[in-house]
Amino acid sequence: MIDRKDKLISGYKAFRAGDYKAQKKLYEELGTKGQSPKVMLIACSDSRVDPTDIFDAYPGEMFVTRNVANIVPPYDTDDGFFGTAATIEYAVKVLKVEMIVVMGHESCGGIKGCLDGMGHDPDAGYVGKWVSIINNVRERVLARSLPENEVVLEMELEGVRQSLTNLMSFPFVKEAVESGTLKLQGAYFSIIQARLMLSNEQDEFELIPA
Ligand SMILES: [Zn+2]
């Protein structure tokens, strides 16, 4: 078995000799002056969909949060720990990002889990509880009686749409959007062909020419 720590060290060395060498000044500047990213990215934790790779972003360019199935929970003031909500609040109120992108993706395990009913299974642990946030999306998509091969894609896209709707339930997001300082954007990445789709004004996803 590969020694995981060795792999970390060799990766770090490659970074120092490659990207870091080319971006030494940028790191110095970011470390000294702080960050001022203009875009927040909400993506899935899936190891195959790294937003900074897909959008060719340099360090300091994107404020990223990733969770199972790229879900934005609706605004909620109950007691609890709100990791995703905290990152959104920080991005909007402190960093004053100009755009929040929610990016879904192909063959998402979290979306599949929700479709399979994990969100209704009390024994499905933290993941089950987390994906239960989009049980309403599941019910909506299943009610459409789509052909079987379209259900998963539709659920993945509809999950992004729901997260964009939920973003608007945060008072500070709504205020920034309505005052024109913040835009919300849906995105979808198909892994097999590395194709990107972006949502338009009508909330439909359009393929972006590579
Ligand atoms: Zn995923």
Supply 177's token pair: 């959007």
Across 8-36, average pLDDT: 97
Same domain? For 18 and 112 the reply is no
Same domain? For 103 and 88 the reply is yes
Looking at residue 149, its pLDDT comes to 86
Could you tell me the strand order of the sheet in which 183-190 lies? 62-67, 39-44, 99-105, 183-190, 195-199, 205-207
pLDDT class for 82, splitting at 50, 70, 90?
A: confident
Torsion from C-alpha of 66, 7, 126, 163, nearest 10 degrees: 10
CA of 130 to the centre of ligand 1 (A): 13
Same domain? For 42 and 10 the reply is no
Q: Structural domain tally of the chain? A: 2
Same domain? For 167 and 123 the reply is yes
pLDDT class for 131, splitting at 50, 70, 90?
A: very high
CA of 10 to the centre of ligand 1 (A): 28
Structure pTM?
A: 0.96
Across 85-113, average pLDDT: 98
Q: DSSP E strands: which ranges in the chain?
A: 39-44, 62-67, 99-105, 183-190, 195-199, 205-207
pLDDT class for 78, splitting at 50, 70, 90?
A: confident
CA of 108 to the centre of ligand 1 (A): 4
Same domain? For 201 and 176 the reply is yes
CA of 33 to the centre of ligand 1 (A): 34
Neighbours of 198 (CB within 10 A): 15
Same domain? For 89 and 126 the reply is yes
Look up the CATH number of the domain holding residue 82.
3.40.1050.10
Same domain? For 134 and 169 the reply is yes
For 25, the domain range is: 1-34
pLDDT class for 31, splitting at 50, 70, 90?
A: very high
- For all residues of the chain together, what is the average pLDDT? 96
